[in-house]
């Protein structure tokens, strides 16, 4: 039996070759958490340097590298992969599917991300990390000496390919793999927001790919797209970067919105208020997200007409965002609210994120932006939306879905310590930064002079960062100390509303013994009220077809990883390495194309046994 055969292989080999969306989801979560801790460490080091005026904890060059790597790591290697982890694990379950549409591509997407992330971080050990900011504006980045920025370019290129593949996979999965009865307007909000975020990935990432390609040609092969003395134009990079970059921030926040919608409705025991308004607000935010990129460039000198147009377009996004905020409040209104850790994170999100939205609209006022731009006010803004939105969403989702993914509940007492310390630390760190910015402290500086009214607030900010660090350590500890809180019930919170709470824990590898029949939004909740509490089956019990694992995604990604070194050290005569890596990559693609693989079947008897 091929099923038994798969089990007899070593654990490591199993994870390297898996195409199971649940295992890939877990790998995204583990790798994302690692990079999150790494990015957090970089942040703490920066905050220590800024704790006192003219402090010399790290040299300025190191500070610039920490700054660049912190931003790049958090956005590309922590926040997005962690969201991808939840999407991978939860979305197929929520739509009643046995896997994603392209399991092989799913694995490829993960390995590309991981190798890209590793590549980026190798730079620390070989002559210094990139130092031109996560935005890598030219000419700072194109002229930056050393290989740091080359690692940035190729690392992001490799991991970006993985993200694009992942996004396309989610789109096809959600369009094609929904269970009978699960129409688009019955999909849970997390699935909806995954769908819209994947569309943003599909349309936004190509702009980054092109930008990075131009920068690579410029740095490694002497092109002159951005070289003004050769007729190039430095502004092109900023446009390309932000045409990608603004949709990117919505790629991060929309899935978090989805997570909050699930949790607020589950823990107030109420249907989500204004479901269709929520869906349309998500779509509108997704669309408008493409029309506002130049609000990052108000001070570049585009002129008053262009600035005004982009200012108004940007402010327009506040409208659908406001609709969502009010719908969450009205979901809570009159609900039987349970203050679990997951829900605490969701509740804290509403005011925290709203503050970030308010400073966003302030920044979007293009005339006032001349005052705010490139100061700590901007730093405060985006940390309020990203931590107050995305990170709180990730923690909320972790507490909510932990029993489904890992088979035990995280300790609620430690969870509450974690929550309060983190929330207080977060506001302590970033609230004062609004004022630091308003009184003129520029962002991205390695130090500042004393006696200018900056000292106290910088000190407070660093203390807040320590609190967040301690809180995160408590979280990591509680992961290990909670392992005894095993759950086996399919619906451990008792108020699950959606399909991910309908199969036994641990989730069988085929997810659903029988594809469920969906009769309403909140399919499970409907059956609890109108049926017998169990999903109706849409098909008879039978053999289940499963895809085979494959090592090829790993090898393809390894090929691009090797090839990247060849390009980075092109001038040291390593062109052959670049070619070798590409040969490995294309060789694996070739093998994949000619080798037929029909997967295997799990026999009906085993499915019946597994259901017990």
Partner 1 sequence: MGQHGMDPSAPLTGKPSKKTQRKLRNEMRTQLISFVLMIFLTSMAFISIASDAIPTGFAMPFILLLAVIQVILQLYVFMHLNERGNGWPNAMIWTGVLVAIPTVASLMLLLGIVKW
Core vs surface per residue 78-89: b (16+ CB within 10 A) or e? bbbbbbbbbbbb
Instruction: Give the number of residues in contact with partner 1, rule: CB under 8 A.
Output: 25
Measured in whole angstroms, the distance separating CA 307 from the mean position of its chain's CA atoms is 30
Which lies closer to partner 1 via its Cβ, residue 316 or residue 330?
Answer: 316
Which lies closer to ligand HEM via its Cβ, residue 374 or residue 455?
Answer: 374
Map residues 303-332 to x or -, x wherever contact with partner 1 holds by CB under 8 A: xxxx--------------------------
Residue nearest to ligand HEM (CB): 360
User: Is residue 294 a contact point for partner 1 (CB under 8 A)?
Assistant: yes
Closest to 343 (Cα-Cα) out of 412, 426, 440: 412
Per CB under 6 A, the list member of 196, 204, 207, 253 interacting with ligand HEM is 253
Piece in contact with partner 1 (CB under 8 A), picked from 38-46, 96-104, 236-244, 377-385: 236-244
CB of 216 to partner 1, least distance (A): 21
Residue keyed to tokens 């599909």:
202
Residue nearest to Cu ion (CB): 246
Which lies closer to ligand HEM via its Cβ, residue 382 or residue 600?
Answer: 382
Map residues 314-353 to x or -, x wherever contact with Cu ion holds by CB under 5 A: ----------------------------------------
User: Is residue 597 a contact point for partner 1 (CB under 8 A)?
Assistant: no
User: Is residue 369 a contact point for ligand HEM (CB under 6 A)?
Assistant: yes
Piece in contact with partner 1 (CB under 8 A), picked from 230-238, 372-380, 472-480, 585-593: 230-238
Per CB under 8 A, the list member of 41, 45, 118, 236 interacting with partner 1 is 236
Residue keyed to tokens 């190039």:
232
Helix (H) or strand (E) holding 517: strand 516-517
Pairwise CA distance, residues 89 & 83, whole Å: 10
Provide Rg for the chain, Cα atoms: 24
Per CB under 6 A, the list member of 91, 207, 386, 391 interacting with ligand HEM is 386
Core vs surface per residue 284-320: b (16+ CB within 10 A) or e? bbbebbbebbbbbbbeeebeeeebeebbebbebbbeb
User: Is residue 287 a contact point for partner 1 (CB under 8 A)?
Assistant: yes
CA distances from 357 to 277, 321, 377, 389, 397 (A): 19, 8, 13, 10, 22
> Structure tokens of 430?
């970033």
3-state helix, strand, coil in the chain (%, to 5): 70, 0, 25
Asked if residues 191 and 174 have their Cβ atoms less than 8 Å apart, the reply is yes
> Structure tokens of 111?
């390995």
Pairwise CA distance, residues 435 & 590, whole Å: 57
CB of 175 to partner 1, least distance (A): 5
Which lies closer to partner 1 via its Cβ, residue 306 or residue 473?
Answer: 306
What single string gives the DSSP state of each residue in 518-544? P-SSSHHHHHHHHSSSSPEESS----E
Dihedral sign from CA coordinates of 219, 224, 226, 228 = positive
User: Is residue 317 a contact point for ligand HEM (CB under 6 A)?
Assistant: yes
Per CB under 8 A, the list member of 108, 138, 177, 199 interacting with partner 1 is 199
- The listed partner (Cu ion, partner 1, ligand HEM, none) that binds 253, CB under 5 to 8 Å by sort, is ligand HEM
Asked if residues 501 and 491 have their Cβ atoms less than 8 Å apart, the reply is yes
User: Is residue 231 a contact point for partner 1 (CB under 8 A)?
Assistant: no
Closest to 193 (Cα-Cα) out of 250, 138, 125, 108: 250
- The listed partner (ligand HEM, partner 1, Cu ion, none) that binds 233, CB under 5 to 8 Å by sort, is partner 1
CB of 592 to ligand HEM, least distance (A): 36
Which lies closer to partner 1 via its Cβ, residue 333 or residue 370?
Answer: 370
Query: What does DSSP assign to residue 595?
Result: S
Residue keyed to tokens 């295997």:
600
Per CB under 8 A, the list member of 145, 222, 231, 301 interacting with partner 1 is 301
> Structure tokens of 124?
């620390």
Contacts of 408 (CB under 8 A, 6+ apart): 402, 482, 483, 484, 485, 486, 487
Which lies closer to partner 1 via its Cβ, residue 172 or residue 223?
Answer: 172
Per CB under 8 A, the list member of 30, 122, 210, 235 interacting with partner 1 is 235
**Which of positions 527-556 make contact with Cu ion (CB under 5 A)?**
none
Asked if residues 411 and 485 have their Cβ atoms less than 8 Å apart, the reply is yes
CA angle 418, 420, 421 (to 5 degrees): 65
Map residues 338-357 to x or -, x wherever contact with ligand HEM holds by CB under 6 A: -------------------x
- The listed partner (partner 1, Cu ion, ligand HEM, none) that binds 239, CB under 5 to 8 Å by sort, is partner 1
Map residues 228-247 to x or -, x wherever contact with Cu ion holds by CB under 5 A: ------------------x-
User: Is residue 140 a contact point for ligand HEM (CB under 6 A)?
Assistant: no
CB of 243 to ligand HEM, least distance (A): 14
User: Is residue 360 a contact point for ligand HEM (CB under 6 A)?
Assistant: yes
CB of 525 to partner 1, least distance (A): 28
Instruction: Give the number of residues in contact with ligand HEM, rule: CB under 6 A.
Output: 25
Instruction: Quickly count: other Cβ atoms within 10 Å of residue 203's Cβ.
Output: 16
Contacts of 91 (CB under 8 A, 6+ apart): 100, 170, 173, 174, 190, 191, 194
User: Is residue 233 a contact point for partner 1 (CB under 8 A)?
Assistant: yes
> Structure tokens of 390?
């995305």
User: Is residue 542 a contact point for partner 1 (CB under 8 A)?
Assistant: yes
Which lies closer to partner 1 via its Cβ, residue 202 or residue 558?
Answer: 202
Q: Is 240 exposed, middle or buried (0-12, 13-18, 19+ CB in 10 A)?
A: buried
Pairwise CA distance, residues 176 & 192, whole Å: 14
Instruction: Give the number of residues in contact with Cu ion, rule: CB under 5 A.
Output: 1
Per CB under 8 A, the list member of 222, 231, 540, 573 interacting with partner 1 is 540
Which lies closer to partner 1 via its Cβ, residue 233 or residue 488?
Answer: 233
CA angle 304, 309, 310 (to 5 degrees): 100
User: Is residue 78 a contact point for ligand HEM (CB under 6 A)?
Assistant: no
User: Is residue 22 a contact point for Cu ion (CB under 5 A)?
Assistant: no
CA distances from 25 to 259, 340, 435 (A): 16, 24, 40
Binding interface with partner 1 (CB under 8 A): 171, 175, 199, 202-203, 233, 235-236, 239, 243, 287, 290-291, 294, 301-306, 540, 542-543, 545, 601
Q: What is the contact surface with Cu ion in residues (CB under 5 A)? A: 246
> Under the rule (CB under 6 A), what is the footprint of ligand HEM?
135, 249, 252-253, 295-296, 314, 317-318, 321, 357, 360-361, 363-364, 369, 372-373, 378, 381-382, 385-386, 389-390
């Amino acid at each position: 039996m091929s099923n038994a055969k798969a089990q007899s292989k070593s654990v490591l080999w199993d994870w390297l070759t898996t195409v199971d969306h649940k295992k890939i989801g877990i790998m995204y979560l583990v790798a994302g958490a690692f990079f999150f801790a790494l990015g957090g460490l970089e942040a703490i080091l920066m905050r220590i340097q800024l704790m006192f005026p003219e402090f010399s904890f790290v040299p300025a060059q190191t500070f610039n590298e920490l700054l660049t790597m912190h931003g790049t790591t958090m956005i590309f290697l922590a926040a997005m992969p962690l969201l991808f982890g939840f999407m991978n694990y939860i979305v197929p379950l929520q739509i009643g599917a046995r896997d994603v549409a392209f399991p092989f591509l799913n694995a490829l997407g993960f390995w590309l991300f991981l190798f890209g992330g590793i590549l980026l971080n190798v730079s620390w050990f070989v002559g210094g990390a990139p130092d031109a900011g996560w935005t890598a504006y030219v000419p700072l980045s194109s002229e930056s000496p050393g290989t740091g920025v080359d690692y940035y370019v190729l690392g992001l290129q490799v991991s970006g390919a993985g993200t694009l593949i992942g996004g396309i996979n989610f789109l096809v999965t959600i369009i094609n793999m929904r269970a009978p009865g699960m129409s688009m307007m019955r999909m849970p909000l997390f699935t909806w927001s995954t769908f819209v975020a994947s569309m943003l990935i599909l349309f936004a990432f190509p702009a980054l790919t092109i930008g990075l390609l131009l920068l690579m040609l410029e740095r490694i092969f002497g092109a002159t797209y951005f070289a003004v003395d050769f007729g190039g134009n430095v502004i092109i990079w900023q446009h390309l970067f932000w045409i990608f970059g603004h949709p990117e921030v919505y790629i991060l926040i929309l899935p978090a919105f989805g997570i909050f919608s699930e949790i607020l409705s589950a823990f107030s025991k109420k249907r989500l208020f204004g479901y269709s308004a929520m869906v349309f607000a998500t779509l509108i935010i997704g669309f408008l997200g493409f029309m506002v990129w130049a609000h990052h460039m108000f001070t570049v000198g585009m002129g008053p007409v262009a600035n005004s147009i982009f200012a108004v377009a940007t402010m327009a996004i506040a409208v659908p965002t406001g609709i969502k905020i009010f719908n969450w409040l009205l979901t809570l209104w009159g609900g039987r609210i349970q203050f679990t850790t997951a829900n605490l994170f969701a509740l804290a999100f509403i005011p925290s994120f709203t503050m970030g939205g308010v400073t966003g609209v302030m920044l979007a006022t293009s005339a006032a932006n001349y005052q705010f731009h490139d100061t700590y006010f901007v730093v405060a803004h985006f940390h309020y939306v990203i931590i107050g939105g995305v990170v709180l969403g990730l923690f909320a989702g972790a507490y909510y879905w932990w029993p489904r993914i890992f088979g035990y509940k995280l300790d609620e007492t430690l969870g509450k310590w974690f929550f309060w310390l983190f929330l207080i630390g977060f506001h302590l760190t970033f609230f004062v930064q609004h004022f630091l910015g308003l009184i003129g402290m520029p962002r991205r500086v390695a130090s500042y002079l004393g006696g200018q009214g900056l000292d106290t607030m910088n000190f407070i900010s660093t203390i807040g960062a320590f609190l967040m660090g301690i809180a995160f350590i408590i979280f990591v500890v509680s992961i290990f100390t909670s392992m005894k809180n095993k759950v086996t019930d399919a619906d451990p919170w008792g108020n699950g509303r959606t399909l991910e709470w309908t199969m036994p824990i641990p989730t069988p590898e085929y997810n659903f013994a029988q594809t469920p029949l969906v009769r309403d939004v909140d399919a499970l909740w409907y059956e609890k009220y109108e049926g017998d509490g169990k999903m109706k089956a849409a098909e008879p019990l039978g053999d289940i077809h499963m895809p085979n694992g494959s090592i090829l995604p790993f090898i393809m990604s390894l090929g691009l990883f090797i090839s990247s070194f060849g390009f980075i050290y092109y001038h040291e005569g390593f062109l052959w390495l670049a070619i070798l890596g590409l040969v490995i990559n294309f060789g694996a693609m070739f093998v994949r194309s000619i080798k037929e693989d029909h997967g295997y079947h799990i026999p009906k008897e085993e499915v019946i046994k597994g259901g017990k």
